[in-house]
Amino acid sequence: MNLLKETPKLILPRGYISWSQLNCFLTSPARFRKEYFENGPRLTSKYLTFGKNVHELIENNKYKEILPDLIVYDTKELEIRCSVQGVPILAFIDSYDPVKNVFRETKTGIVPWDKVRVIKHGQLPFYAVALKHHTGKVPEYADLDWIETKEGKSEAPVDDFWRTNETELNITGRLLSFHREFDEREIEKMEELIVKTAREISEAYINFLKEI
């Protein structure tokens, strides 16, 4: 069945589909309902907060002393709003090279990334789809940079994001980069997933609105 045909009018809780919405709906429809239909609190943790603040360091060019080997393209936090077969999507790409039309995604975390995890990570094809519809060309590749994070006991409370409650999170300085190439078949597969999921979200949201 070809899903990439004219999409009927959609009613989406945010008016668009992002990677976080797509992933949340596919992994936990109940949590999606609470967060996006009922406007409940978003899932958060000290790890997500830590990662967000590290990204802010990179965006503000304050990372070079602690991460001297990290490659960051000139265009940081590229916002893309476009449409995939009638489905509005939103993407924020960590850093983008407009000359080569390639991008980099940066991750923090205690659990190491590896090649298999990178290949399976749907965020990269989602962003590749966004770039395809934004620029008219599929990016040839992307790179994912994993910034190793360690957790340990904190000797004293400190009011900064490096320390949270009784434990502290720290960047070790170790960096692993993974190269990820794209092909047209997986891009088409992601486009189909975006359209299919958007339709399912719209149907569920319409039913939710009828209940209230």
pLDDT of residue 1: 46
Asked if residue 35 belongs to a domain, the reply is yes
pTM across the whole model = 0.87
- Polymer length in residues for the chain: 212
Backbone angles phi, psi at 159, to 5 degrees: -85, 65
Asked if residue 5 belongs to a domain, the reply is no
pLDDT digits (tens, 9 = 90+) for 95-116: 999 999 999 999 998 999 999 9
CA dist., res. 143 & res. 104, Å (int)? 5
Q: What is the mean pLDDT of residues 34-43?
A: 89
Helix (H) or strand (E) run with residue 141 in it: strand 141-153
pLDDT of residue 47: 80
Distances (CA, A) of 47 to 22, 50, 110, 167: 21, 5, 9, 11
pLDDT averaged over the chain?
Answer: 90
Asked if residue 83 belongs to a domain, the reply is yes
Q: What is the mean pLDDT of residues 26-46?
A: 90
Spatial neighbors of 172 by CB under 8 A, at least 6 apart, are 148, 149, 150
Backbone angles phi, psi at 146, to 5 degrees: -100, 120
CB–CB of 190/91 below 8 Å? Answer: no
Which of 43-57, 148-162, 186-200 has the weakest average pLDDT?
A: 148-162
pLDDT of residue 172: 87
- Bridge-based pairing of strands 75-84 and 141-153 is unpaired
CA dist., res. 91 & res. 74, Å (int)? 17
Q: CA-based angle 121:72:92, to the nearest 5?
A: 50
CA dist., res. 132 & res. 151, Å (int)? 38
CB–CB of 128/142 below 8 Å? Answer: yes
Q: Which residue has the higher pLDDT, 99 or 63?
A: 99
Q: Please count the structural domains in the chain.
A: 1
Q: How confident is the model at residue 175 (pLDDT cuts 50, 70, 90)?
A: very high
pLDDT greater than 60 at residue 155: no
Asked if residue 152 belongs to a domain, the reply is yes
What three-state secondary structure class fits 130? helix
What three-state secondary structure class fits 145? strand
Q: How confident is the model at residue 79 (pLDDT cuts 50, 70, 90)?
A: very high
| Domain ranges, residue 98 | 17-211
Asked if residue 43 belongs to a domain, the reply is yes
182: CATH: 3.90.320.10
The pLDDT > 70 percentage for the chain reads: 89
Q: What is the mean pLDDT of residues 127-152?
A: 95
Which of 80-94, 120-134, 135-149, 165-179 has the weakest average pLDDT?
A: 165-179
pLDDT of residue 163: 47
Asked if residue 184 belongs to a domain, the reply is yes
Asked if residue 201 belongs to a domain, the reply is yes
Asked if residue 1 belongs to a domain, the reply is no
